[in-house]
Structure 1
């Protein structure tokens, strides 16, 4: 079957020997042209299945009123946390008459810069963003602020940019998780982190360190590793588990990394959690699907998304004064499952463990 390209207002204007402006006015029902002309143009448009391009129309009128479209940048779409944030943003935006335009940076600085410029050119009313791992300079974000584009960071924030932000309590989430590991008998807790140049990594590392110190344990730098994905976890963990002073617990920056540790430890013949405890950070669907089910820190991505959308819309609608920033912290909670012990082992159990060695 032969396909035909949809007609445009230019096509209608040419066929009816009128201007594009006349066609536009007729389709809007303007009384600036005669009723006969309006009906003639509208009938032709219906006959040829013409539908106006609403996005293009909004862009043409954007100088008169701001577009109710929010640009959202996510580092990666496949990560459960970021998809949860996106769902929260979309729901909160929709209830207030806004739509979202989504792009993912794929953890690349250059791509992030390009997306920011593209959003600006497409006249979004504001941007919600979590920075890419590769981002170390923030001029592209600063330019948006200087151009009057409202900007809200979530999760990964740029401390050098004075913009509103929504984060989870990374420090307390890590502190609570590591405290749980120590209080259930673990003494050598390894930490798998994302790059330390990011604020979330620093906060979780500080929570990890303070929990150990609070419970009378020293921080061992040889137990801290930069590793934030499953593939890398499965690559480095076997050697770590073969050490004479191997860890008896792992705290990972996200669930996927924790599941990589869990998989490796199980296939290495170690019993979970009797010999090795594992704790993640996210509480995505995979945390329940893995065997045994993963103890993890619930990050509440949906709530983060709702809060970020609320702040941005308040900026757009003038409820937050220009130049003012708003900071919100979403609380985390520890979800204890089967990859960590329920209680501290008794002295008898510790003795049996030593005998098995």
Structure 2
């Protein structure tokens, strides 16, 4: 099929016998142009299938009005709620979003960063992949003065604004609750401890034990990739322990739900034989039986804070602190999976 030539403002100007400058102003709803002229121009533009070349216009202004977002996954209520929070702010400021996800791969994350850099995004928002230990793919943004804001999964050693929750305090709350239920031998199932979120949740677990006068038992720590198979394997490992733990703090709701289901299939009762606390308050926490006690932190609120900080950096360069950490609080949502004293 033969492609038709793109319609330009010069084509419209010739058809309505106006200057290209007048047509351009009319299409931008400029107050100096009469309503009659605007209506005439916009009607013809629609009939001819005119498309504004925003990309070329933005490049002339050295700005694309786009913000890149890099996340480690998309099948998470938390991540989607963060993106929704970001979008609620950026849309109001007339910025578009380009979303890329790494599928928990450093290699893909680095490729996404290069791609977004070459797409000339005005700013970058990122939550780090599971295995990211090299951060040089963010260097081009820093050199160009492109603001970078990290959320949730961050690295303290690199420059940029960071928006996080107090993961250590959240871990403390989770384990303190299990201790209050009479649990003493508490397994810890977690992701890569090189990531701040998992390392800090473990610190909270250990602090809660210390406060209760209980020594940390390294044999109860299981570090994996939190996938379905890893969750099944963790459940089998828990069931094989002698004695079996009387509770488990699992730092991801999906992993906790799979662990619970696998143990139930072995005839192990929850919470009577082993109590569970998860993390994130994903939808699965409400669906699994019994309901999963978990840590809730407001993704939408985090997204709004991330978005506002990014827009502030873009609209008022040099006025906002570049290297700062904003810490949000979280809540323990208690459901049946942890209530040993109620059964």
Long gaps (5+) in structure 1: 17-21, 31-37, 346-357
Cα drift, residue 11 of structure 1: 12
- Which runs of structure 2 are paired with 1:63-142 in the superposition (5 Å)? 63=62, 66-142=63-139
TM-score, normalised relative to structure 1: 0.83
Asked if 1:272 is matched to 2:261, the reply is no
Long gaps (5+) in structure 2: 27-36
What is the rounded CA distance, in whole Å, between the counterparts of 1:187 and 1:95 in structure 2? Answer: 50
Larger radius of gyration: 1
**RMSD (Å), alpha carbons:** 2.9
Asked if 1:167 is matched to 2:164, the reply is yes
Cα drift, residue 172 of structure 1: 0.6
User: Which of 164, 171, 183 is the aligned partner of 2:180?
Assistant: 183
Q: What are the superposed Cα offsets for residues 202-244 of structure 1, whole Å, 9 maximum, x if unpaired? A: 1111001111111111111110011323331112312321222
Asked if 1:59 is matched to 2:58, the reply is yes
- Which runs of structure 2 are paired with 1:166-315 in the superposition (5 Å)? 166-227=163-224, 228-315=226-313
Indicate conservation of the 8 Å contact 1:254/1:282, yes or no: yes
What is the rounded CA distance, in whole Å, between the counterparts of 1:269 and 1:47 in structure 2? Answer: 66
The structure-2 alpha-carbon separation of the partners of 1:44 and 1:193, relative to structure 1 and needing over 3 Å to count, comes to closer
User: Which of 326, 333, 340 is the aligned partner of 2:324?
Assistant: 326
State the secondary structure of the residue aligned to 1:185.
Answer: coil
TM-score, normalised relative to structure 2: 0.86
Residue 333 of structure 2 is matched in structure 1 by 335
Indicate conservation of the 8 Å contact 1:142/1:161, yes or no: no
Cα drift, residue 25 of structure 1: 4.7
The structure-2 alpha-carbon separation of the partners of 1:75 and 1:232, relative to structure 1 and needing over 3 Å to count, comes to same
What is the rounded CA distance, in whole Å, between the counterparts of 2:151 and 2:46 in structure 1? Answer: 48
